[in-house]
């Protein structure tokens, strides 16, 4: 269970917390730009320590970065000199207690579920924006996290590739045992993926 108690982090304004999320549930936070959606997700993996309150995953207070959390950011942050599938495996080189270099071939993320089938050896600059954007979810999931955080990773895409990726992630969430948190401006995407949707008000943002 993800539990958030009295969390507040302010950039000159107050921010209200997200509600609790049960194991294998999926919560979406929806609102316009500048409402603190990304700020609300960063305490979960330990990338930001809130001014007040605490985050628990599961049953332990998060006070440093957690390897049990996978996160896909708004920008893909790919290494041009590595093929797209190797970019998707970068987490295995960073997260502790993951397989050795010799074992990584067996733990390579399957390209079909995330839509990279046929592009495994292609470099990022040779791919469309929609295909490049499939690498961050792949990278976030390869180490089999307990919690997946999607920080609006498809927000910059056109309608057709964005819709395709929402459907891909829906398939993943239905077949992988993790809890999920999504921050997005796309209400349709939130409805596709989430069990619960939290709508943020205007500044200073509050959950509704």
- In-domain check, residue 190: yes
pLDDT at 81: 92
pLDDT at 79 over 80: yes
For residue 208, being part of any structural domain is answered with no
Please report whether residue 36 resides in a domain: yes
Please give the pLDDT value at position 80: 92
Taking only the tens place, the pLDDT of each residue in 97-112 is 665 444 555 444 454 5
Higher pLDDT, 23 or 73: 73
Q: Strand 52-56 and strand 196-199: pairing?
A: unpaired
**Range of the structural domain that residue 191 is part of:** 3-199
**Sequence-ordered list of residues with C-beta below 8 angstroms from that of 202, at least 6 positions apart, any chain:** 32, 35
Q: What percent of the chain has pLDDT over 70?
A: 74
Q: What is the widest separation between alpha-carbon atoms in the chain?
A: 51
207: in domain = no
Which CATH number fits the domain that encloses residue 31? 3.40.50.300
Q: How confident is the model at residue 187 (pLDDT cuts 50, 70, 90)?
A: confident
Question: Quick check: is 96 in a domain?
Answer: yes
Mean pLDDT, rounded, for 71-81: 87
DSSP state of 109: P
The whole-model pTM stands at 0.76
Is residue 94 situated within a structural domain? yes
| Of the candidates 5, 64, 43, 35, the residue with the CA atom closest to the CA atom of residue 181 | 43
Answer whether residue 164 is part of any domain. yes
Cβ-contact 44, 183 below 8 angstroms:
no
Q: Count up the domains in the chain and report the number.
A: 1
pLDDT at 100 (0 to 100): 46
Instruction: Give the Å distances, CA to CA, from 90 to 75, 79, 87, 138, 161.
Output: 15, 10, 5, 10, 24
Distance, in Å, from the CA atom of 197 to the CA atom of 208, rounded to the nearest integer, reads: 9
How many angstroms separate the CA atoms of 153 and 133, rounded?
Answer: 7
User: How much is the pLDDT for 64?
Assistant: 79
103 against 200, higher pLDDT: 200
Closest CA relative to residue 25, chosen from 160, 151, 182, 139: 182
The verdict on residue 67 lying in a domain is: yes
Residue 28, helix vs strand vs coil: strand
């Amino acid at each position: 269970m993800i539990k958030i108690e009295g969390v507040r982090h302010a950039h000159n304004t107050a921010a209200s917390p997200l509600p609790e999320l049960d194991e294998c549930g999926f919560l979406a936070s929806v609102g316009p730009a500048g409402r603190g959606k990304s700020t609300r997700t960063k305490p979960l993996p330990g990338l930001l320590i809130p001014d007040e309150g605490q985050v628990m995953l599961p049953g332990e207070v998060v006070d440093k970065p957690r390897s049990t959390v996978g996160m896909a950011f708004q920008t893909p942050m790919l290494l041009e000199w590595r093929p797209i599938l190797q970019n998707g495996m970068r987490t295995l080189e960073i997260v502790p207690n993951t397989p050795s270099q010799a074992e990584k071939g067996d733990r390579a993320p399957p390209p079909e579920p995330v839509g990279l089938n046929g592009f495994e050896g292609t470099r990022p600059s040779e791919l469309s924006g929609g295909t490049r954007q499939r690498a961050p979810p792949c990278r976030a999931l390869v180490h089999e996290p307990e919690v997946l955080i999607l920080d609006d990773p498809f927000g910059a895409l056109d309608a057709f590739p964005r819709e395709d990726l929402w459907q891909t992630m829906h398939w993943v969430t239905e077949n992988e045992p993790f809890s999920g948190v999504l921050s997005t401006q796309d209400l349709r995407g939130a409805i596709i993926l989430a069990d619960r949707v939290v709508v943020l008000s205007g500044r200073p943002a509050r959950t509704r």
